[in-house]
């Protein structure tokens, strides 16, 4: 049993290397499971395990009855995930507006140097404001190495930044990591989010990691405390999160626990 497990992981690593080398480009359909089993001189079941491992990492997309394709868009992680925000708001039938506030270049920051593993590098920053039904809810700043500055210059507010970044750079993002911290907003952020007095927010710091295990995109977002709350449901070993938007600016979690519409898609 142990040998079979090591074999499927070995095959997964070999396929991953071929994707990294461009042998299997983004969007390309991989050979069938039967063909891969012949190539690797193993069983279809072992190949299926290798592909499942790659699908779990977001490297391939398995479409049953069609085939297995090298991923073409950013990873959809089972974290709160800023990149799933627009889709989630659509599911909740919320009207979301994404506005580009600024695009800056030639930024130097030792903090970013540590994240991107660079020295004395320059970066570009895209600042956006998300409004829900006319209410400012999220202020987001995204950073990339300046070699990708054209991505920000040509970005349109109606596009998904993560998918657009992938399509323009050819970098396959296979992992996202996000840390959320409760904070008190500073005056600048309060002004942009149109909040007065002491105001709280979730401060999200997220990195998008490529197939080469390199950080290629860094995001900082302020999620206004009066309007954004989060729900989590744990089933077995799986935990799923989603945003809840409170236009009233007042949380009532006691009522939310028994709301079937809130929990039905948290599976």
Q: Determine the pLDDT at residue 103.
A: 97
- Nearby residues of 69 by Cβ (< 8 Å), 6 or more positions away: 27, 28, 29, 30, 60, 61, 63
> Where are the alpha helices (H) located in 174-213, listed in sequence order?
187-192
42 φ, ψ to 5°? -145, -175
Q: Write the class of the CATH domain 2-70.
A: mainly alpha
Cα(175)–Cα(213) distance, integer angstroms = 8
Q: Determine the pLDDT at residue 236.
A: 65
Answer whether 2-70 and 82-263 agree in fold. Answer: no
| Cα 24 → chain centroid | 23
Ranges of the chain whose pLDDT falls below 50: 1-4, 74-83
The encoded tokens of residue 197 equal 């007095």
Q: Determine the pLDDT at residue 90.
A: 64
Contact 107, 123 (CB under 8 A): yes
Q: Determine the pLDDT at residue 226.
A: 76
| Cα 95 → chain centroid | 21
Q: Helix 2-20 to helix 44-56 angle, to the nearest 10 degrees?
A: 60
Fold that domain 82-263 belongs to in CATH: Chorismate lyase (3.40.1410)
The encoded tokens of residue 4 equal 């079979």
Cα(183)–Cα(193) distance, integer angstroms = 14
* Annotated domain spans of the chain: 2-70, 82-263
Q: Determine the pLDDT at residue 2.
A: 46
Enter the DSSP assignment of 20: H
- 253 burial via Cβ count (<10 Å: 0-12, 13-18, 19+): exposed
Q: Determine the pLDDT at residue 253.
A: 64
Contact 134, 74 (CB under 8 A): no
Q: Determine the pLDDT at residue 72.
A: 59
Q: Determine the pLDDT at residue 37.
A: 93
- Reduce the DSSP state of residue 191 to 3 states and report it: helix
Enter the DSSP assignment of 57: T
Contact 241, 80 (CB under 8 A): yes
- What distances in angstroms separate CA 105 from CA 124, 144, 232, one per listed residue? 4, 10, 37
Tell me the CB-side half-sphere exposure of residue 148, using CA atoms within 13 A.
25
- What residues does 132 pair with on adjacent strands? 96, 135
Q: Which of 17, 19, 15 is nearest to 33 (CA)?
A: 15
The CA angle 49-52-58, to the nearest 5 degrees, is 150
The encoded tokens of residue 65 equal 């009855």
């Amino acid at each position: 049993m142990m040998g079979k497990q090591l074999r499927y992981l070995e095959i997964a690593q070999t396929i991953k290397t071929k994707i990294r080398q461009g042998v299997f480009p983004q969007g390309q359909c991989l050979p069938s499971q039967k063909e891969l089993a012949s190539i690797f001189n193993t069983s279809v079941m072992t190949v299926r395990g290798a592909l499942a491992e790659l699908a779990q990492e977001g490297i391939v997309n398995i479409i049953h009855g069609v085939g297995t394709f090298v991923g073409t868009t950013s990873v959809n992680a089972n974290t709160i995930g800023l990149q799933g925000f627009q889709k989630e708001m659509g599911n909740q039938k919320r009207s979301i507006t994404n506005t580009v506030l600024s695009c800056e270049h030639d930024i130097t920051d030792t903090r970013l140097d540590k994240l991107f593993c660079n020295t004395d590098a320059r970066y570009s920053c895209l600042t956006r404001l998300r409004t829900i039904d006319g209410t400012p809810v999220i202020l987001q700043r995204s950073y990339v190495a300046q070699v990708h500055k054209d991505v920000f210059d040509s970005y349109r507010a109606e596009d998904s930044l993560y998918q657009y970044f992938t399509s323009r750079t050819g970098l396959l993002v296979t992992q996202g990591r996000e840390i959320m911290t409760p904070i008190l907003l500073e005056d600048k952020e309060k002004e942009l989010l149109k909040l007065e007095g002491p105001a709280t927010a979730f401060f999200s710091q997220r990195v998008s990691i490529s197939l080469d295990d390199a950080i290629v995109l860094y995001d900082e977002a302020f999620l206004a405390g009066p309007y954004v709350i989060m729900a989590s449901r744990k089933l077995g070993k799986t935990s799923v999160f989603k945003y809840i938007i409170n236009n009233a600016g007042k949380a009532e979690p006691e009522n939310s626990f028994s709301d079937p519409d809130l929990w039905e898609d948290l599976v």
